[in-house]
Structure 1
């Protein structure tokens, strides 16, 4: 009986530790996205994508020529893609950060180096590593 209780306590502690570590590892801090600005949202945004991590959001934005900034919301895991317009503005919003992707284009984060898509298109990397531009629908 004592042995079974010890095993149960050990399993409970092991699972609790796994759950705590898993949760901590899933949330990437904005500082890991170079030059991300915490607590700020850029408006207006033209497209919202859901269920993405911050690096997925960077990838979605950088592959679209018309995306210059993105906002990321930690709570909803939503990604907002932003045009660069004269009406662009920022506002403080808890749980958000934004990133200007212009400095990332052509660099290590850009999967479409050498491919220039038109406005309204998205660069897609094919299985054979070639890239194509398709209409962003």
Structure 2
């Protein structure tokens, strides 16, 4: 009986009772735009254990909140911002969720209970226990999963260090975003040899270095990022004369706990040298995959990489004193970055 009574209360909550003195007009209903569906990838923030009415209020009172997903079983509210464009692939079929767009309720005093209480920039209107409203400082976090979507959120975002929230990293991950040409998540950079890249398996797995200078993002994060959607890779190189070269691959993914590389679709002027690394496992000096005659351990002599049995044609993580190598030339600077294509 208690369980049934609780479910009835939730159903009543879905009718969004008006509780303020100003609008004692009974009840009104929100008609979901989609049932058993949620909007994905454009999250502002998530609230747990709140009622349907509270979820609606939190969204409509935030100017950047375009819509929300609400799960009446989990009492979870997921607020979304307005993307530049919406496609069917942005929606996921999930039983229990409703999807509601709030923009067409704005300006209606029955729904927008803070309409007559404008707040200052950086503040939002919140309800009080006595049915009133008050302006409070907003501590809103944009739960973006990569630099590409951060750029979509605000085209004025500049290159620098940001915190992103890819799947399985609820605590957030700091990355360097190159915000040119749509936004790229930088995964490797070498500029002067200041960082030691002769590292073991665990260090390459977790990442190391300084995001503002030289670093390796971390294989486990490459796996998480590229498992969440489709990505392309761009490699930028500078030789000893200051000439710049690049290679782009339309497909880039890192799979499994062995961090197997999938790479295809070359374009650029540096040469299609990473194709020879396709479908090979990552190697470090303490977890070596191949030994090549005349060279020895590929990872020990040429740096950690997705080496093939012949070691391959690319050594961007080797000892800097030997310069960086992308066959057939040596280079003094490199940057590897990925961009979402979904």
Q: By the TM > 0.5 criterion, same fold?
A: yes
Query: Is the contact made by 1:42 and 1:91 (CA closer than 8 Å) also made in structure 2?
Result: yes
* Counterparts of 1:121 and 1:101, CA distance in 2: 19
Alignment of 1:1-137 (within 5 A): 16=1, 19=2, 21-28=4-11, 32=15, 33-36=29-32, 37-43=34-40, 44-86=42-84, 88=86, 89-107=90-108, 108-117=110-119, 121-125=123-127, 129=132, 131-132=134-135, 134-137=136-139
Which SS does the other structure have where 1:106 is aligned? coil
5+ long unaligned stretches in structure 1: 1-15
**CA distance 1:120–1:73, shift in 2 (3 Å):** farther
Which SS does the other structure have where 1:27 is aligned? helix
Query: Is the contact made by 1:40 and 1:91 (CA closer than 8 Å) also made in structure 2?
Result: yes
Q: Could you say which structure has the greater relative contact order, defined with CA pairs below 8 angstroms and 6 or more residues apart?
A: 1
* Counterparts of 2:69 and 2:49, CA distance in 1: 13
Query: Is the contact made by 1:65 and 1:118 (CA closer than 8 Å) also made in structure 2?
Result: no
Query: Is the contact made by 1:42 and 1:71 (CA closer than 8 Å) also made in structure 2?
Result: yes
* Counterparts of 2:103 and 2:10, CA distance in 1: 24
Structure number with bigger Rg: 2
Query: Is the contact made by 2:71 and 2:98 (CA closer than 8 Å) also made in structure 1?
Result: yes
Query: Is the contact made by 1:66 and 1:119 (CA closer than 8 Å) also made in structure 2?
Result: no
Count of aligned pairs: 119
1:121 Cα deviation after fit? 3.4
Normalized per residue, which structure has more helix?
Answer: 1
Which SS does the other structure have where 2:38 is aligned? strand
Query: Is the contact made by 2:125 and 2:133 (CA closer than 8 Å) also made in structure 1?
Result: no
**CA distance 1:69–1:78, shift in 2 (3 Å):** same
